[in-house]
Amino acid sequence: MANDKIIVALDYPNEGAALELVRKCDGRPVKFKIGKELFTNAGPDIVSKIIDLGGYVFLDLKYNDISNTVKGAAKAAANLGVDLFNMHASAGFEKMKAAKEGVTEVASKEPFREPRVIAVTCLTDMDEHDLKLIGVNETPAEYAARLANLAKHAGMDGVVCSPKELPIMRYILGDDATLVTPGIRPRWSEANEQKRITTPADAIANGATMLVIGRPITGHEDPAKAIDLIADEILAAMPRYNSNVLNQDDRTKLDDYLKQRNMELAAYMKLRGRQQSCS
């Protein structure tokens, strides 16, 4: 079904407005994204209330902390029953591993499906100038590739990335990875604050697993109808799923880039091994 590829962004400041939107979706089997503002104002109970209404939850809190804290947060998210949640890949290799360990620990004790843990690469409103200001001398695509490769080796289930970086992410992470892309605007909607956007049909052709869509649904007079329109666009694009693959020159360049990154990771692992053996 095309609906299961849609994640509705519940960018609301309070529980009442968010739950009203969930009800207006009229049972469409979509996922609902709970971000920092809604979670902070409504608390963890908002997750169970959405699940009780038949919804699936993407907990978008982008964890980034020391390993023990990230692991504890991951266990808490798993216990809430979310379908997937995320963390910043820039938190580092050990933190991503800790998140997966936390989820696995909960799943070993509770009879339920493990939530997918996906890593945030480069935020979609960041361009090359933004990255330079924080000391990253790479393009958004290069930086996203670096972080995606690290996430893969840390055991993440997928990544959040810009739609235009999807072919790179699919090449790096493989066919089974969950690729979630924001910055999506259907053809009948206008772009807002995000600098790198594309349509649902183009995102599907680029290899997206799920599309995060906010205002075109939440701002529509009939959210259920908006979902149906987007689902139709996705369904029509499915024959072209993952058809926009990298050409041979781009694959060769990316392979060379990843080889260097993997050498850096191997050196890091060797150093960590020595440090642990001396502790």
Q: Identify whether residues 145 and 258 lie together within a single domain.
A: no
Q: Are residues 58 and 184 in the same domain?
A: yes
61, 89, 99, 117, 150 from 70: Cα distances, Å:
11, 12, 6, 12, 17
Q: Are residues 231 and 276 in the same domain?
A: no
Residue 207, domain CATH: 3.20.20.70
Q: 136: burial class by Cβ within 10 Å (0-12, 13-18, 19+)? A: middle
The answer to whether residues 107 and 221 belong to one domain is yes
Enclosing H/E stretch for 65: none
Residues 200, 260 within the same domain: no
Residues 106 and 198 both lie in one domain: yes
Q: How many domains does the chain have?
A: 2
Catalytic residues: 62
Q: In the structure, what pLDDT confidence band is assigned to residue 195 with cuts at 50, 70 and 90? A: low
184 with 254, same domain: the answer is: no
pLDDT of residue 190: 64
Q: Which residues form the domain of 122?
A: 3-244
Q: pLDDT digits over 207-228, tens only? A: 999 999 999 999 999 999 999 9
Q: How confident is the model at residue 140 (pLDDT cuts 50, 70, 90)?
A: confident
| Claim to verify: residue 154 and residue 268 sit in the same structural domain | no
- Percent pLDDT > 90 in the chain is 80
Global pTM?
0.92
Q: Which residues pair with 31 in a beta bridge?
A: 7, 56
What digits encode the pLDDT tens for the residues 10-63? Answer: 999 999 999 999 999 988 989 999 999 999 999 999 999 999 999 999 999 999
* Beta pairing, strands 178-181 & 84-88: unpaired
Residues 35 and 68 in one domain: yes
At 126 the pLDDT is: 87
Task: Evaluate if residue 136 carries a pLDDT over 60.
Answer: yes
192/208 same-domain check:
yes
Is the domain of 254 the same as that of 144? no
- Reported residue count of the chain is 279
The pLDDT of residue 279: 53
Same domain? 123 vs 261:
no
Tens-digit pLDDT profile for residues 73-122? 999 999 999 999 999 999 999 999 999 999 999 988 877 778 999 999 98
